[in-house]
Structure 1
Amino acid sequence: MLTVGDKLPNFSVKATVSLEKGKEFTTITQDTYKGKWIILFAWPKDFTFICPTEIAEFGKKNKDFNDRDAQVLGLSTDSEFVHHAWRTHHADLKNLPFPMLADLKHELTNALGILHKEEGVALRATFIIDPQGIIRHVSVNDLSVGRNVAEVVRTLDAFQTDELCPCNWQKGEETLTSKLAKAG
């Protein structure tokens, strides 16, 4: 599995970006959002139970990510057409503000190292990637447990201070770097 310090691999995948006729799909590459922070999160399968709770929460927090110059990208091994059908038929997913990447050939999930060995689907992985394309954070859950999107926002905030941040640090609180500067 790729980890902190590794570069986001090159990729080119179809993505579902809208339900508007003629604007449903686009191609997303590693360079589409060059110069921005990327929040790349993967889920196992469309039309399941835990996944829509996570995807909807990322959608609700999208403004928080945008305010931090970060682009959210969702990813599964389903096709762009399955993503489109799920968005069409699931009330919480109809107006998602971020692309749903379709890794049908498992190229990106394999390159990231997040393909479940027995099930052949993506693990619940979250990557925070800096504007230079370097992975700064990785967390991975097994298939049965959803992630905490508020923690992803908090972690991004900490990285964006470019300072030392203690356990449970929240945006607006003093960092260890600022405390050390005051003591010195």
Structure 2
Amino acid sequence: MLTVGDKFPAFKLTAVKGGPDGLAGPGKSFEEISSDSNAGKWKIVFFWPKDFTFICPTEIAAFGKLNTEFADRDAVVYGVSTDSEFVHLNWRVYNEDIKTLPFPMLADVKRELSTALGVLDKEAGVPLRVTFIVDPDNTIQHVTVNGLNVGRNPQETLRVLDALQTDELCPCNWTKGEEALKPQELFEKAA
């Protein structure tokens, strides 16, 4: 699996658009998203195993609720699974929790991005619950991985993005607005 410091691989995938445009219907609901889309922005790229399952929509909806928070931090959110764009669209239409999803749902049908990142579960052949935070230079700055049966915490992803954007030393459980560590001050206090 690619990790911190690696370049996020180039990709070009069909997606169901975020927001109301995503429900416009086949032919109008889709767009192409590539590694060149939203150049210069931070990217939150998270994978889920399968559409029409139980844990996945809880995570997707939670990321959706934080979408404006991510946007305020100059970050875009991309959700990805190996289901097709048609399955994504149908799921959005019939699942109230994700019907108004504000970010695109990318379809990695050929498993090219999932394979390049190394996120496919070895037994099930579907993506693990992996979240990447990618900086504007396309370098992976953070990765979390959950097994197929445990949902992740999008609020923690937001907290880590805040910490990364400070470019300072942030202690355990640091949150935006708190002071970062100042090593020089710590050395002076100890002396």
Superposed pair shares fold, TM > 0.5? yes
Which residue in the other structure is 2:171 paired with? 166
Q: Does residue 156 of the first structure (1) align with residue 174 of the second (2)?
A: no
TM-score scaled to structure 2, two decimals?
0.93
Task: State how far apart, in whole Å, the 1-side matches of 2:186 and 2:66 are.
Answer: 34
Uncovered stretches (5+) of structure 2, i.e. residues with no partner: none
Provide the residue aligned with 1:36 in structure 2.
41
What amino acid maps onto 1:72 in structure 2?
V
Match of 1:51 in 2: 56
**Hey, what does 2:23 align to over in structure 1?**
19
Task: State the partner residue of 1:110.
Answer: 115
Q: Distance in 2 between matches of 1:170 and 1:164?
A: 12
Distance (Å, rounded) in 1 between the aligned partners of 2:92 and 2:46: 17
The amino acid that maps onto 1:10 is A
Of 140, 146, 150, the match for 1:141: 146
Distance 1:117 1:60 in 2: 31
| 4+ runs deviating over 3 angstroms | 179-184
User: How many residue pairs align between the two structures?
Assistant: 183
Cα deviation, 1:96-121, whole Å, max 9, x if unaligned, reads 11010000000000001001111111
Structure 1, unaligned stretches of length 5 or more? none
Give the Cα separation in 2 of the matches to 1:71 and 1:84. Answer: 20
The secondary structure found in structure 2 opposite 1:127 is strand
* RMSD (CA atoms): 1.3
State how far apart, in whole Å, the 1-side matches of 2:184 and 2:69 are.
29
> Residue type matched to 2:144 in 1?
S
Instruction: Give the CA deviation at 1:182.
Output: 8.8
- TM-score scaled to structure 1, two decimals? 0.96
Distance in 2 (CA, whole Å) between partners of 1:30 and 1:165 is 29
Amino acid at match of 1:173: E
Identity within the alignment, %: 62
Deviation at 1:23, TM superposition (A): 2.7
Q: 1 CA distance for matches of 2:180 and 2:76?
A: 25
Distance 2:116 2:136 in 1: 19
Report what 2:74 is aligned to.
69
Q: Supply the distance in 1 between the matched residues of 2:107 and 2:7 (Cα, whole angstroms).
A: 20
Distance in 2 (alpha carbons) for counterparts of 1:34 and 1:133:
9
CA distance in 2, matches of 1:2, 1:182: 34
